[in-house]
Structure 1
Amino acid sequence: MQLSFSAFNQIRSSLHVPTTSSQLLRHGQPKEKVVVVLGVTGAGKSRLSIDLATRFSAEIINSDKMQVYRGLEIATNKITDEERRGVPHHLLGVVDPDCDFSAANFRAMASISLRSILSRRQLPIIVGGSNSFVEALVDVDFRSRYDCCFLWVDAAMPVLASFASDRVDRMVERGMIEEVRAFFRSNADYSRGIRRAIGVPEFDEYFRVESECDEETRARVLAEAIDAIKANTSRLACRQLEKIHRLRNTRAWRMHRLDTTEVFRKRDGEAEAVWNSVVAGTAEAVLSRFLYDMEPAVCGGVMAMRSGARPLMAATAS
């Protein structure tokens, strides 16, 4: 079974979508603006997208191929309601977990969400780690209709690997094992739906033997499963980085790189200060130039728009 078309139609019917393409791009008018946030798992994409969405009039379209499914909030690392800070999210936890959701499905549904957001004069921010989904959406036809700003959230891989390992431990502490156990089936197909997510197949052996072995064996198998999750997360990050380099070098996507390495190296208030100045502050300046077609004026460390510039859309920096 492919995407549940009943779910697709339900989502589509709930959106206000312009009926003709002329309502999106009229002759003689500038292209409408779309922001795409790329990066490997754990680099800070979601955090940046929320920061930008609260500074500009924006809504977020999820492009993570596992987070589109309902369920496994911990294992798929879905952003929580509190972390969203009231920012509307699209294509997050909306697909039946047993369905296969392809890049073509994403392109169709993301296009609907994007038109709906633009019809309300909001800025669409597409964010997620599934670069194949983003590539399927942002083709030549898409670029001919929309003006895209690509933000690449990056960090040194050894630093990210350490953070990702710690994050897996925190996910286990939050209850990931019990969450995944609810999805365990003895005949499960780990090549379909949400069961492809890292953190699901790795626990298969543990769930099969946990009730039939001694405590020492059970602890060993569990530790092996957790180590496998960490290793597979690291491999995923490497594949994601390779794909980003291909999009930049072969597809010639012009990306604004934002280095979050020092954020991970700092602690508490120092990390927050580095994030606000080096990452979020830089991204805000980039978007201001992108949206308003002008350079920001900086006086005394405070960024402001140069007077006389005409906004290209109804997104305003706060």
Structure 2
Amino acid sequence: MSAGQNETSKPRLLVLIGPTAIGKTRMSLEIAKAWNAEIISGDSMQVYKGMDIGTAKIREEEREGIPHHLIDICEPDYPFSVAEFQERCGELIRDITARGKLPFIVGGTGLYVESVAYGYEFPDSGSDEAYREEQLQYAAEYGAEALHEKLRAVDPESAQRLHPNDQRRVIRALEVHHLTGMTLSAQLAGQKKTSPYELCIIGLSMERQALYDRINKRVDAMIEEGLVEEVRRLLGSGVSGDCVAMQGLGYKEIALFLKQQLPLEDAVELLKRDTRRFAKRQLSWFRRMHDIVWVESSENFHKNLLLIHAIIAGKFRVDLEYPTNQSF
């Protein structure tokens, strides 16, 4: 199948979203092979080099020849932003389309994906370094939760989306309100919901307890694969535990163990709890998005895949023909 070109003025864009651990990676490979697609990671953490196990990054040998983009593009101490993601994605989409292939975003960072799908505009509201420093000092004195509560008081929607440990983004949300008098969530809600693309967004969902079971098993597998050693190596190489990347799931919890602030067993349980809460926040964000066709992910992988193929074919108005190397 090929869906890289169309007769309309808009380029096609395929998107697969869903909460962490639901099975996007395996599904995306089969979709990409069938639809002549190149995958763009829509995960805000997979951009960082050396952060592989904790981000569930697909290994080179597992990609089955499918090009993957926006993986391993910056160092862990680089403050990668949604605006930069959007810019890089736009360039990739134009390039992939020009080569007659289908751009295919796969990931779970809702704001990142939505910013590309609908061409969000990010106004430069400026900065106030003194204000930022004041908030950093407040967090140092009273703790990350107290800073997060400050955000909850003025912008509860952003507070729900952002983890208390994500201090850079929490402070930025506070700063936007401080500078403009308008909340970040209100700015996002005011964005246009028309897409510059011929858009097909597919969302994977799953019964909550089944998803939580998958999350718990994934965390156990990450520990077995060497997550503790990965975090130890990052910290030992000079990566600050306070940088944005190290506030990601898996890294901040294991860092607590390595700093002897928690026993390993407690750190693992904390990671499982934080990941379940993150998945809940992801689903809350996705449920507010437009244009998603939801697929209930079951144990019958090939049934799910057939359904997704049919959805894509219907959305892009192409004949549903499967290549001979595909078995169902």
Q: Please, what TM-score do these two structures have when normalized by structure 2?
A: 0.70
1:144/1:30 Cα in 2 relative to 1: closer, same or farther (>3 Å)?
same
CA contact (8 A) 1:34 1:149 kept: yes
Paired with 2:72 and 2:81, the residues of 1 have a C-alpha distance of: 15
CA contact (8 A) 2:19 2:282 kept: yes
- Matching of residues 187-266 of structure 1 within 5 Å: 190=241, 192-209=243-260, 221-247=263-289, 253-260=290-297, 262-263=298-299
The percentage of aligned residue pairs carrying the same residue is 31
- Which of the numbers 214, 221, 226 marks the counterpart of 1:175? 226
Paired with 1:97 and 1:47, the residues of 2 have a C-alpha distance of: 26
Q: CA deviation at 1:157?
A: 1.2
Paired with 2:318 and 2:65, the residues of 1 have a C-alpha distance of: 28
3-state DSSP class of the match of 1:124?
strand
Letter of the structure 2 residue corresponding to residue 254 of structure 1: D
CA contact (8 A) 1:60 1:125 kept: yes
Q: CA deviation at 1:200?
A: 1.1
1:174/1:203 Cα in 2 relative to 1: closer, same or farther (>3 Å)?
same
Structure 1 gaps of 5+ residues are 1-23, 211-219, 248-252, 264-273, 297-303, 306-314
Paired with 1:236 and 1:244, the residues of 2 have a C-alpha distance of: 12
Paired with 2:76 and 2:24, the residues of 1 have a C-alpha distance of: 24
3-state DSSP class of the match of 2:12?
strand
Residue 119 (structure 1) aligns with: 98
- Matching of residues 82-161 of structure 1 within 5 Å: 82-139=61-118, 143-161=194-212
1:29/1:47 Cα in 2 relative to 1: closer, same or farther (>3 Å)?
same
Q: CA deviation at 1:184?
A: 2.2
3-state DSSP class of the match of 2:255?
helix
Letter of the structure 1 residue corresponding to residue 293 of structure 2: H
Q: Please, what TM-score do these two structures have when normalized by structure 1?
A: 0.72
Q: RMSD value over aligned CA atoms?
A: 2.8
Structure 2 gaps of 5+ residues are 121-192
1:185/1:145 Cα in 2 relative to 1: closer, same or farther (>3 Å)?
same
Paired with 1:239 and 1:38, the residues of 2 have a C-alpha distance of: 13
Letter of the structure 2 residue corresponding to residue 117 of structure 1: I
Paired with 1:276 and 1:82, the residues of 2 have a C-alpha distance of: 23
Paired with 1:227 and 1:144, the residues of 2 have a C-alpha distance of: 40
Q: CA deviation at 1:94?
A: 1.0
CA contact (8 A) 2:86 2:112 kept: yes
- 1:137-193: per-residue Cα shift (whole Å, max 9, x none)? 122579453100010011111101111101111111111111111122699755533
Q: CA deviation at 1:206?
A: 1.9
Residue 302 (structure 2) aligns with: 276
Residue 267 (structure 1) aligns with: none
1:207/1:172 Cα in 2 relative to 1: closer, same or farther (>3 Å)?
same
Paired with 2:263 and 2:282, the residues of 1 have a C-alpha distance of: 28
